[in-house]
């Protein structure tokens, strides 16, 4: 539920992980499609509940089920592929503001919905 936002001692800005920010940001995107644009009031609260609580829990449960089913097969190749995919998912990080003029600006990032 807590996304990998990190800062370094020599860095003047925080970084985000593009893959996981997009996965969790899709929850806010879906909520806005279901409930309409975010604004103060009950509809905005519903979007926040869905995007911040329901979607992340659903994603974590789905990932848990997928990993559990892969690990139960006891296939060494499947475990290596799973580990490699996880490492790859952690490898692309950008500044919170993104890099101007790149595809990152058009992604539904979790931090973009929260205005970090």
12 by DSSP, 3-state: which? coil
Concatenate the DSSP letters of all residues of 82-113 into one string: HHHHHHHHTS-EEETT--TTSGGGGS--HHHH
What backbone phi and psi angles, to 5 degrees, belong to 16?
-125, 155
pLDDT digits (tens, 9 = 90+) for 47-82: 778 888 888 899 899 989 988 888 888 888 888 888
pLDDT of residue 29: 81
Question: Mean pLDDT, to the nearest integer, of 38-52?
Answer: 73
pLDDT digits (tens, 9 = 90+) for 81-116: 888 888 888 887 777 665 666 666 666 666 666 554
The span from the CA of 76 to the CA of 96, in Å, is 37
pLDDT of residue 76: 87
Question: Mean pLDDT, to the nearest integer, of 28-33?
Answer: 80
């Amino acid at each position: 539920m807590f996304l990998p936002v990190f800062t370094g001692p020599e860095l003047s800005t925080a970084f985000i992980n593009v893959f996981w920010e997009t996965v969790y940001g899709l929850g806010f995107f879906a909520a806005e499609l279901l409930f309409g644009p975010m604004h103060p009031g009950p509809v905005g609260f519903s979007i926040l509940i869905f995007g911040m609580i329901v979607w992340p829990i659903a994603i974590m449960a789905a990932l848990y089920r997928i990993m559990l089913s892969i690990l139960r097969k006891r296939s060494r190749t499947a475990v290596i592929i799973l580990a490699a995919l996880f490492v790859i998912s952690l490898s692309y990080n950008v500044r919170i503001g993104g890099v101007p003029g790149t595809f990152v600006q058009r992604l539904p990032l979790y931090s973009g919905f929260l205005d970090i």
